[in-house]
Chains A and B, each alone.
Chain A
Amino acid sequence: MTIWGLAAIGGCSAGGALSPTGAVMPPAPVVMHTAPSLDQLIEAGWKAAGLKTADRADDGEFLRRVTLDLVGRTPALDETKEFLADTAPNKRARAVDLLLAGHEYAEHWSDLFGDLLFGADLKPNISKQYDPRAWLVRALDTNMRYDRLAHEVLTATGDLHDNGALGFLVARGKGGGGPEAVAGAAARIFLGLQIQCAQCHDHPYDPRWKQEDFYGLVAYFVRTKTKTEKMMGDKSLVVVDTNKGQALMRRPRTELDVVVAPRFLGYAVAERPGETRRQTFARATLASDLFAKSMVARTWAQLFGHGIVDPWDDLGGENDPKHPRVLVAVADSFKNAGYDIKWLLKTLVLSTAYARSSARRPGETDEGNLVATQGFARAGIRPLSPEQLFRSLLNETGAATMARRKQGEEAAQKRLAQALKEYVFVFGDDEMAEANTFDGSVPQALLLLNGELTNNGARVMEEGVLGRILASSRQPAQRLEDMFLAAYARRPSPDERSHFVGFLASRQGARTAYEDLYFALLTSTEAITNH
């Protein structure tokens, strides 16, 4: 994969750190005076790389993308109409504030943080006792600062029932593979390092990491013990830090275990009196420049579909120097903004790079488009996560309301949970895909073509979206426009308008003609991707 675009941006001379917001931690969301200098860095990078930049995305394109990215679904028909009609110059920033203020933001980002912290495949092991996602949802709802979130996750003790922050330790350690798995995950998530590859031998590709370095990190987690306690018949899991336990390393092809003392990426960190080993690790982690960088790199990758450092969890090594300026600048500003997660999201989605259109430039080759996308000068096209796709389809069809009306609240909930499970199963990467991508694309196509959600959702029903669209106007052209707005967050082009109005006329405006067209809209690539 060529990365010249990043290299060129890295070599640009513009700007240093983004202007910091000052010593006082600003309230969230933050004033946006940092954004222009991020934009200057990006624009200088485009110029230096000679990239042809795509136009600014129009309002519908922006709203659809930012709604998917911040709250995990496409905008509803009414939201789109309202946004398109709004003439305020700062309406994009206002829309972002509104999205970040809602509970859906916490729900969606707890999915992303949850998969990261607990691991998608580890979910079942812990959810039987307690779902730590509830803790994450609360943390995101109250906009817990990222440094505090990390500190809580890394140092949590006590009963899993009372403290969801323990989910990380329990899922990774107990459900996964002991202190080695916890140390590996902590280094990846909070430092952006893939040092766990050095567990069995020196890192095969990254000469910086020796096996001792990995076990030096493991040593921070070996004194943490879990025990099961029975309280009034209820089993609960309690985590405590003790002063016993050693990290034991075995070199390849030897039979002897060697005790390794705690070392943080090759350095001894002095333990403070009364500090547990995990607390020392958390302190060293939060003091590392990799802490903010890894969060920025990961969030960037989540919002843009590919990383400013790619992959985001390979920082500091050979991948890092390709794009240091933007990464360092945003990471510094994130730190200065008090590790405010909503500030980071807002800064990135209001940047000039995020606002690029995904439209092809006339006459541009596929390769040229790809190169522009890699340099963030054009938005890419990304598949939706199973949850994003499912929630979007619910939104575009009204299937949830229809199910409730037809079956009652309880039955509908059960049915929807079942349907979501199927989407996660068919569209998600399952545990078998750990090594590999499970490319189930034909089964995905079959589910969309012949599954219940898309087929029932495209029917004209009183409570459904298509039913409401048909009820609100008798004009085929108006109905068509609303169908496009509901499915795509845009109006049909003149060509599409005449083609599809013609189609509806050819079927005498029959109900089934609308259903067939809406089905085609809902299942088309434009509707099932983020672009």
Chain B
Amino acid sequence: MDNQISRRSLVRWGAASALGATVFDKPGWAADSPTPTGAASSCVLLYMAGGPSHIDTFDPKPGRPTGGEFKAIGTSVAGVQICEHLPRLAGHMKDLAIVRSLTSKEGNHDRARHLMHTGYPPQGGVDHPAFGSIVSEARDTRGMPGYVSIGGPGEDSGFLSAAHSPFPVRNASKPVRYLTPAKGIDAQRFDARLALWRSLETGFAGRRGGPYAQAQRDVREQAVGLMRSTGAGAFNLDGEPDKVKEAYGPSDFGQGCLMARRLVEASVPFVEVTLNGWDTHEDNFRRVKDLCASLDTGMSALIDDLSARGLLASTLLVWMGDFGRTPRINEKGGRDHFPACSSVVLAGGGIKGGQVVGATDADGAGVTDRPLTVPDLYRTIAQVLRINADRSRVAPSGRPIKTVNGGNVITELV
């Protein structure tokens, strides 16, 4: 516990210290870099925590011993097959781009989730921000949080200000509480309390607080901004017609996808929705079948809904997880961690759908065509979202850190 607290407080110290955020240049493009020209203003990351089996989702290997129990089915694009338990997404294949050749070395959950969220492997000395935090920093969000994480922790803002840490929503089916003043506190009293609180904070910052007090104050102001923002209602699904709620499916993940759509409409530039449970060391096929049901309904409803509202072109959807899973099926009917091959799916935001990029071998055991890295992926995402991938920030340790660590844009996608 002590460790956690000190870790957390260090994050905050780092977050707002004079060596951190305050010396960064203002959000904008570095002069020496071409302005990226993407189409998307928002991103919805569908994060499959635990590591989804690539073979049992978007890279099926029918007829091979490694292929497992599931059949492959055709999609709306000739020649492209995916898992039989994703029938609705198969119907949306024209919108989807499947990358089957992502490869990395990080086979530990913590390290992999850091890599997949930040584009950097964890390393001592630099606390990398989540990409969602970078997007949050670059956008004016009109009082709304810039990075919302539904059903999972997301990844923290690292050396960026705590203001860009993910705003957590544990369960989309339950409205976020305390967005309105307590009973009996009218606007006048709320403002009076705020003014008194501000003067106490100024005094404390002068006597002891420094950057820590400043970070606390920033977060409180952010909370007040959220209460006053016109978009705060997006956190409550009560107003959605039953028909819409049903279309997203009964799962928490499905309802999270619905909240993601509402948040995108309310100017939140980065929303992460987590689907937990993909760490299927045992009983892989029963569990993945269930997970696919939630995924298939939620993700296709989101694509339909965004499309119907004319938002798909300006909203990038990214589906990914910790890593792929072993082709070998273990004695417990499970699959283990396999970072050598993972699938990633992109849609919307001007992504060229209806295609597969890269390939793995007949058993899904190695990349045979177009090996791609996480920096390649993030460089592409950055371009689509009009984020300068080469912008350099000085981390608290004094090291310059680029938004994206090398890599090349995956040109097939954009």
Contacts and interface: CB of A to CB of B under 8 A. Distances in A.
Contacts of B155: 436
B26 to A, nearest CB: 21
Q: Is the interface of A mostly helix, strand, loop or mixed?
A: helix
Contacts, number: 180
A313 B13 contact: no
A520 B219 contact: no
Contact of A516 (B5, B196, B208, B223): B196
Contacts of B209: 360, 381, 525
A517 B1 contact: no
Interface stretch (A132-140, A299-307, A343-351, A466-474): A299-307
Nearest to B204: A526
A442 B167 contact: yes
A383 B10 CA distance: 11
A449 B10 CA distance: 25
Nearest to B216: A525
A370 interface: yes
Interface string B13-28: 1000111000000000
Contact of A298 (B2, B19, B110, B152): B2
Interface in B140-163: 145, 152-157, 162
A120 B5 CA distance: 14
B222 interface: yes
Interface in B158-178: 162, 165-168, 176-178
Contacts of B11: 437, 439
B165 A441 contact: yes
Contacts of A512: 189
A437 B156 contact: yes
Contact of A435 (B110, B183, B197): B110
A437 B7 contact: yes
A468 B113 CA distance: 52
Interface residues of A, number: 68
Interface string A428-457: 010011011111111111110111100100
A445 B220 contact: yes
A277 interface: no
A37 to B, nearest CB: 25
Contacts of B244: none
A524 B201 contact: yes
B9 A1 contact: no
Contacts of A367: 17-19
Given A435-B110, A452-B182, A521-B200, A429 B18 contact: no
Contact of B212 (A1, A381, A436, A443): A381
A455 B165 CA distance: 27
Given A439-B165, A442-B219, A519 B193 contact: yes
Contact of B182 (A442, A455, A516, A529): A455
Contacts of A99: none
Nearest to A522: B197
Interface in A366-412: 366-367, 369-370, 380-383, 385
Contacts of A500: 196
A383 B4 CA distance: 11
A78 B6 CA distance: 31
A302 B223 contact: no
A371 B2 CA distance: 20
B87 interface: no
Contacts of B206: 360
Nearest to B200: A524
B210 A366 contact: yes
Chain B: interface size category: 35 or more
A516 B193 contact: yes
A523 interface: yes
A367 B210 CA distance: 10
A112 B184 CA distance: 37
Contact of B200 (A301, A366, A444, A520): A520
A370 B166 contact: no
Given A370-B13, A436-B156, A383 B197 contact: no
A439 B8 contact: yes
B226 A531 contact: no
Nearest to B199: A499
Nearest to B1: A115
Given A443-B167, A526-B204, A381 B213 contact: yes
B217 interface: yes
Given A310-B6, A383-B8, A493-B203, A442 B226 contact: yes
Contact of B197 (A311, A440, A447, A524): A524
Given A381-B213, A442-B226, A516-B193, A451 B2 contact: no
Nearest to A440: B168
Nearest to A116: B1
B243 interface: no
A433 B3 CA distance: 13
Given A305-B9, A435-B153, A519-B193, A449 B223 contact: yes
A228 interface: no
Contacts of A437: 4, 7-8, 11, 153, 156
A281 interface: no
Contacts of A370: 13, 17, 210-211
B185 interface: yes
B168 A302 contact: no
B111 to A, nearest CB: 9
Nearest to A387: B1
A359 B223 CA distance: 27
A1 B196 CA distance: 36
A432 B8 contact: no
A503 interface: yes
Which are the 6 A-B pairs with shortest beta-carbon distances? A445-B223, A520-B196, A455-B182, A439-B165, A446-B178, A450-B178
Given A311-B6, A442-B219, 15 more contacts: A312-B2, A366-B210, A369-B210, A380-B9, A381-B9, A432-B153, A433-B4, A436-B113, A436-B153, A437-B156, A439-B8, A446-B178, A447-B177, A517-B196, A529-B216
17 contacts: A112-B2, A115-B1, A370-B211, A381-B210, A383-B9, A436-B113, A436-B154, A437-B4, A439-B11, A445-B222, A446-B226, A455-B185, A516-B196, A519-B193, A524-B201, A525-B201, A525-B213
Interface of B: 1-11, 13, 17-19, 109-110, 113, 125, 145, 152-157, 162, 165-168, 176-185, 189, 192-193, 196-197, 199-201, 203-204, 206-213, 216-217, 219-220, 222-224, 226-227, 397
